[in-house]
Amino acid sequence: MQQIIAKILKKITEILEVVISIMLAVGIILICFRMAGALYNIPNLEIWPNYDDLLTTCFNLIIGVELIRMMYYHTPNTVFEVLLFAIARQIITDHSSIWSSLVGVSAIALLFATRKFLFCEFDVAEAIIFRASAKVRSINRLLGIHIPYEDDETLMDVLNQKLAEMEKEPRIGACAYFSDVGLRVAKLSKDKISRIEVIRSIH
């Protein structure tokens, strides 16, 4: 029962994300049309949009576009880009003091450092444990992924072959990664792999 409720709530949140993304996209498009029709006002600093208004609105629209991508892709990179544009907008449009600009530049530098040293190339969206004897063909069809295999190879066959290529021992926690999925040894039985965790990537 709890799993059914969780699936229903997950589906509802996905639908709401799509609806919100569509409304945000429509709003951005309408504002773009409005700005395009009022560009002749730019020389007049008393009427919208003057140059400062244009700059601020464009940054807001870019952040809105990145928000749509963030709701659709759910990746750390999209969050990074939203934060980057938000901080850049604050630095460029706010002329309060040199210290606020310095804090903004430091924040951007910190974001890039975080991206370089703390982001993982493979981010987990879903991890499911299967028997090592499960056929790769069935797992691919069930999860909609693509683990390379030949004939009737099992998860254990593919993982052992990949670990041998990387010169790794088949012990608990040992991982092998493919384009959109990873395999991790979840359990050993008499020094033989008995459970394998299939990790789906969010990329």
The residue ranges of every structural domain in the chain are 2-117, 124-201
- How far apart are alpha carbons 26 and 68 in whole angstroms? 11
Closest to 53 measured CA to CA, from 35, 28, 40, 67? 35
Amino acid at residue number 78: T
State the virtual CA torsion across 99, 101, 103, 107 in degrees, nearest 10.
Answer: -170
Task: Say if CB 84 and CB 67 are below 8 A apart.
Answer: no
pTM for the full predicted model: 0.56
Q: Which CATH number fits domain 124-201: 2.140.10.10, 3.90.1150.10, 3.30.465.10, 3.80.10.10?
A: 3.30.465.10
Q: What is the pLDDT along the chain (203 residues), one digit of tens a residue?
A: 676 787 788 789 888 988 999 999 999 999 999 988 888 888 777 787 788 888 888 889 999 998 888 887 766 777 888 888 889 888 888 777 888 889 989 999 998 888 777 765 555 556 788 999 999 999 988 888 889 998 889 999 999 999 998 888 888 888 888 877 889 899 888 888 999 999 876 54
> Integer distance in angstroms from the first to the last C-alpha of the chain?
30
